[in-house]
Structure 1
Amino acid sequence: KDFDNNDFQSKLKSYSKVIWYEIESEKDAIEIFTRINMGKIPLTNAELIKALFLNSSNFPNSKSEEIRLRQLEIASEWDRIEYLLQNEELWYFINNSENELPTRIEHIFNIMKNIEGVQNGNDQYSTFRFFSKKFKTNTKNEIDNNWKEIKRIFQTIEEWFSDRELYHKVGFLITSGEKITDLLIDVKSSQKNDFKKLLDLKISEKIKCNNLEGLEYGDGRIKNILLLHNIQTMLSNKNETSRFPFDRFKKENWDIEHIHAIATEMPKNKQHRIDWLNNSKEYINDDEKLTSSISDFVSSYDEKIKENPESFDELANSVLEYYSKKSHIETDINDLSNLVLLDSGTNRSYKNAVFPAKRKTIINKEKEGTFIPVCTKNVFLKYYTPDLEQMTFWDESDRKYYFENINTTLYQ
């Protein structure tokens, strides 16, 4: 039906109601307006953009049945995209933080705006204005072309997500700070094999290091190196179908943990200290004097601390000295050979425990169904050490073979 401007104006004048507030001149009109409208549910970018796509005036010269079917088609595809984006594995594959948008499809609209490099502000409705400006012509081709681009972007993400190699490589790059916008621009202008080569080049830049042995705890590259070590280890097994859980990596705040305990991370409160000493004592079988000192300290903790506030630190240093001597370690080890990735929950349960106590924790966590990164599990089960002599200490030989595996997996 053709638009009747006279009829529209007649109905607008006859049936429209305006709420008018008269305020005193000295009052703040904006403050009053804000207070009156507080609690009202605002329209989201996605709702406004959906109205643009489904507006019947965007389908000129089309029959009403054709318009209805096209609207149903777009609405159905819209719902499918939103439904799939609710999958946390997919969401955290392309994002490094939890969703703060009312609907997740809005993220795809933001990506399209960023791909086109449009700078129209960063306010709440900037993305809506981007699409509104596009649809000024009110043509069916404009609607179809823009919706096809939205689908192309999402279908590309779906392809990456379903392809095991692309999933891990793209996922690593996004996790390490690469913008998905740049990757989508790259893939649009590349053949699949060329795109994979480009991904490899970008990945190598993320872990570029001229002196791997010199990297120490605190260097920003270490987390990327440990993350990629896990990913590449999984990818190298062509018969394996498991995938690295980027959602858990990001939601559970995985971080870097020392394998052999260091003195600067000792527990601070009473119960944690007692637990740490008891766990450490369990694996000391050839130093009766030290185990007696631990038992004596634990049984009279308050008295010992009152007599000497530094008494725990002194005893803890003796324990660490025992384990370090057994591990042939003279100083705190902060290089790659003594570092792994672990989720914050398991990390906290360590309280910087000695190696065998950490190993026990890892095994129990995995029995409970906690995901343990493959390389972290390999470390505590000592799979990197070919000539295994003991499971109690993380010694020089263990560190050597672990470091060699990192170097070989990532750089050779």
Structure 2
Amino acid sequence: MKEFIYSLEDLFLSDELLDSLQAEKYYIGAYQRGYKWKSFGANDQVPQFLTDIYNAYQENAPEYYLQYITIKKNDEQKSWLEIIDGQQRLTTISLLFYSFAKGFGFENITEDKVTYERYLGRAIFDEVLDFCDKDESTALLLKKHQDLYYIYHAKECIKNFLELLQDEAKGFYEYCKQKVKIIINLEDEMTSAEEIFSNLNDNKVDLTNYYLIKGLLFTKSTRPENHKTSFIEIQEQRNLIARNWDDIDNWLLDTTQNQLFFNAMPIVNTKEKNTGINSLLNALRPREIVENSKETVVKEFHQSLNNLSVKNVVDDYLLFNLYNEHLTNQSKAEAKLIDIYQTSKRLINWFSDNELYNLIGFYTSTRGNINQILQLGSVAVKEKLYDHLKKILQLEEFEISELNYSDPKKRRKLNTILLALNIFTLKKIEGKVCIDFSNRFDFKSYRKHNWSIEHIYPQNPDCSQADYEEYYDWFSNLKFEDINDPIAIKIKLKEALSEEERYLVAQQDIDEHQLGNLALLTSGSNSTLQNYIFPKKRKLLLNLISGGSFVPQHTINAVSKLLNNADEKDPVISFTTNLTEWNQQDIDSNALWIINAYKQLVKIVNQVTIKN
């Protein structure tokens, strides 16, 4: 493949490309998709094409590049250069110069220079210029042929724009001819056009917000405003930007990083995944949409587009539009790139710090807005995160001991506090209780599931005859007020119990909704454990842990009766010794641990001082 740079004038006229390759025209094969550039809104391809060139003309930019066009000699007609990639641009360029000729009488440098296999032998551009969609036959034709529909509306859009130029028309025409340039990729004649087209399109990606914003930033940030920069220099700048861009994207594609910072963040366009650098672009999107260019021509042109009667035009590129309307010049684009790069470095530094990692994870898991901390330094961000933690831990209406399952408001608060106690575990160092930041909470696993409050002892025990036989010792150890109770006698004689009898035995005289009988589990684990009796639930829970399921540390320690105070001065926790039992003493012990740990955490957080 060989690369050449040509102005539009040299692309079609004089003794440049066509003559040098002994060619007469450009040819677009039937295997290519039809023309698809939209013309209905300010950020559609055709209006953007026009206003970008016009802005470059207004700025007197020495060059304006329209990206690549890939060509090769046609296998059958050697005087034809086949367009492998770039027909959308070439068609739009042709429509522009046909419109210059029809509207102002300027020379049409593209006349008879582009032909389509599907319209072979027809002057398709002349036909479209004479179309009027108010004519019934024309309207039917446009409805039947989608590419003609888009070509027609592109022609109308260009016509509307050129009519606004008035005295500027000649200068804009000359600028388009001489200063607008295209890079030509010349492919080897030995390779078929279909094969090249297939390879090019196999490597292409959909035009998402991500790729459009990337192209916008790369183009505008390297477009000089006050000095001349060669194309080679521009490419070198873009290559450097691209390396930084790819590093950021790859780092944020890891779900461990991405979910920590951006999991709970709403995105502009729900059709696209909030992954990789796209999450950062979404977080750093311009908050205010600036007015379009103050140039009268562009403003009037955009207003005219709003009056087009086109139905079912959906804006899939709202995020791109926000950037595009804000980044109106090189300095703004460069500043945004710097912002993206510096913010990514800040995130990397925060991620490597265990304290910040856990604080940020809790912040984004409890409705903290990531946009409110992205621009903060290390001291300010810690202050913000600790303030958030302090606020979340506050219990203004009730005491920690009053939290329970039956009151929805208290249940939601307990859910958050138990999450905090699982993230900010406590230990004693040199006689002082502090948060153990040597451990990093597994936010990646946590966010794969919904956590909810689980009853350690079930509300409505569910146990089969098989459970009765497997956990017979558990049933036989349950206390009965009357040792002559028929059910007690049946158990003693190891007789089968009915479903109702098994339920009566398993149902303890306790308040299942009280604080000490509650712990956090994922929704999947909750469904696995269901309302099974405690010994079966404990066994299944241990199986989940050994199988790699993510079980909160407090839940593990509670059912294993391993909870201990971080400070020995706190009220003593005393579980029963039988690991297959869970009674009121165990419930009180779990409640006491939650109360002690909560009070210690609140005390530590209130005493935190951030140092530079």
TM-score in terms of structure 1 length: 0.76
Considering only CA atoms, is the larger Rg found in Structure 1 or Structure 2? 2
Corresponding residue SS for 2:454: strand
- Specify the alignment match of 1:174 in structure 2: 364
- Specify the alignment match of 1:283 in structure 2: 474
2:282 aligned to 98, 104, 110, which one?
110
Residues 355/83 of structure 1: CA separation in 2 closer, same or farther (3 Å cut):
same
- For 1:407 and 1:30, locate their aligned partners in 2 and report how far apart those are by CA, in whole Å: 71
2:545 aligned to 361, 366, 369, which one?
366
- Specify the alignment match of 2:585 in structure 1: 397
TM-score in terms of structure 2 length: 0.53
- Specify the alignment match of 2:322 in structure 1: 130
Q: Which amino acid aligns with 2:449?
A: E
Q: Confirm whether residue 101 of structure 1 aligns to residue 272 of structure 2.
A: yes
Contact 2:221 2:333 in 1 (8 A): no
**Higher deviation after alignment, 92-101 or 145-154:** 92-101
Kindly state the Cα deviation for residue 223 of structure 1 after the two structures are TM-superposed: 1.4
Kindly state the Cα deviation for residue 370 of structure 1 after the two structures are TM-superposed: 2.5
Q: Which amino acid aligns with 2:475?
A: I
- Specify the alignment match of 2:201 in structure 1: none
Contact 1:45 1:125 in 2 (8 A): yes
- Specify the alignment match of 1:318 in structure 2: 504
- Specify the alignment match of 2:528 in structure 1: 349
2:343 aligned to 130, 138, 153, which one?
153
Residues 156/124 of structure 1: CA separation in 2 closer, same or farther (3 Å cut):
farther
Q: Confirm whether residue 52 of structure 1 aligns to residue 238 of structure 2.
A: no
Contact 1:261 1:320 in 2 (8 A): no
Superposed CA deviations along residues 296-319 of structure 1, whole A, max 9, x for unmatched, are: 35xxxxxxxxxxxxx74x335313
Superposed CA deviations along residues 287-345 of structure 1, whole A, max 9, x for unmatched, are: 65464899635xxxxxxxxxxxxx74x33531333xx2xxxxx3332132111111233
Contact 1:279 1:357 in 2 (8 A): no
Q: Which amino acid aligns with 1:405?
A: W
- Specify the alignment match of 1:261 in structure 2: 458
Q: Confirm whether residue 162 of structure 1 aligns to residue 352 of structure 2.
A: yes
- For 2:277 and 2:491, locate their aligned partners in 1 and report how far apart those are by CA, in whole Å: 60
- For 1:404 and 1:387, locate their aligned partners in 2 and report how far apart those are by CA, in whole Å: 11
- For 2:144 and 2:277, locate their aligned partners in 1 and report how far apart those are by CA, in whole Å: 33
- For 1:166 and 1:233, locate their aligned partners in 2 and report how far apart those are by CA, in whole Å: 14
Q: Which amino acid aligns with 1:46?
A: Y
1:378 aligned to 548, 557, 562, which one?
557
Q: Confirm whether residue 208 of structure 1 aligns to residue 394 of structure 2.
A: yes
Superposed CA deviations along residues 26-80 of structure 1, whole A, max 9, x for unmatched, are: 989899969x99xx98510011111112227843222333322211121112222
- For 2:504 and 2:290, locate their aligned partners in 1 and report how far apart those are by CA, in whole Å: 61
1:23-62 pair list within 5 angstroms: 42-55=206-219, 58-60=222-224, 61-62=228-229
Kindly state the Cα deviation for residue 88 of structure 1 after the two structures are TM-superposed: 1.6
Corresponding residue SS for 2:453: strand
Residues 27/387 of structure 1: CA separation in 2 closer, same or farther (3 Å cut):
same
- Specify the alignment match of 1:197 in structure 2: 383
Kindly state the Cα deviation for residue 353 of structure 1 after the two structures are TM-superposed: 1.8
Residues 28/375 of structure 1: CA separation in 2 closer, same or farther (3 Å cut):
farther
Corresponding residue SS for 2:211: helix
1:339 aligned to 502, 518, 523, which one?
518
Kindly state the Cα deviation for residue 163 of structure 1 after the two structures are TM-superposed: 1.1
Task: Tell me how large the CA RMSD over aligned residues is.
Answer: 4.0
- For 1:31 and 1:403, locate their aligned partners in 2 and report how far apart those are by CA, in whole Å: 73
Q: Which amino acid aligns with 1:225?
A: I
**Higher deviation after alignment, 209-218 or 166-175:** 209-218
Contact 1:279 1:353 in 2 (8 A): no
What stretches of structure 2 of length at least 5 have no aligned partner?
A: 14-89, 95-109, 117-123, 151-203, 292-313, 428-432, 479-487, 564-572, 601-612
Contact 1:276 1:351 in 2 (8 A): no
Residues 134/376 of structure 1: CA separation in 2 closer, same or farther (3 Å cut):
same
Q: Which amino acid aligns with 1:74?
A: I
- Specify the alignment match of 1:308 in structure 2: none
- Specify the alignment match of 1:84 in structure 2: 251
- For 1:291 and 1:9, locate their aligned partners in 2 and report how far apart those are by CA, in whole Å: 99
What stretches of structure 1 of length at least 5 have no aligned partner?
A: 298-310, 325-329
Kindly state the Cα deviation for residue 274 of structure 1 after the two structures are TM-superposed: 5.4
Residues 238/215 of structure 1: CA separation in 2 closer, same or farther (3 Å cut):
closer
Superposed CA deviations along residues 167-222 of structure 1, whole A, max 9, x for unmatched, are: 1111111111111112225x2xxx53343232122112223213222222132212
Residues 405/183 of structure 1: CA separation in 2 closer, same or farther (3 Å cut):
farther
Kindly state the Cα deviation for residue 228 of structure 1 after the two structures are TM-superposed: 0.6
Q: Larger % of strand: which?
A: 2
- Specify the alignment match of 1:228 in structure 2: 420
2:241 aligned to 69, 74, 77, which one?
74
Kindly state the Cα deviation for residue 147 of structure 1 after the two structures are TM-superposed: 0.6
**How many matched pairs?**
374
- For 2:496 and 2:470, locate their aligned partners in 1 and report how far apart those are by CA, in whole Å: 15
Kindly state the Cα deviation for residue 275 of structure 1 after the two structures are TM-superposed: 5.8
Corresponding residue SS for 1:342: strand
Q: Confirm whether residue 248 of structure 1 aligns to residue 434 of structure 2.
A: no
- For 1:244 and 1:30, locate their aligned partners in 2 and report how far apart those are by CA, in whole Å: 58
Residues 230/198 of structure 1: CA separation in 2 closer, same or farther (3 Å cut):
same
Corresponding residue SS for 2:417: helix
Residues 289/134 of structure 1: CA separation in 2 closer, same or farther (3 Å cut):
same
Residues 394/50 of structure 1: CA separation in 2 closer, same or farther (3 Å cut):
same
Corresponding residue SS for 2:441: coil
Residues 133/9 of structure 1: CA separation in 2 closer, same or farther (3 Å cut):
farther
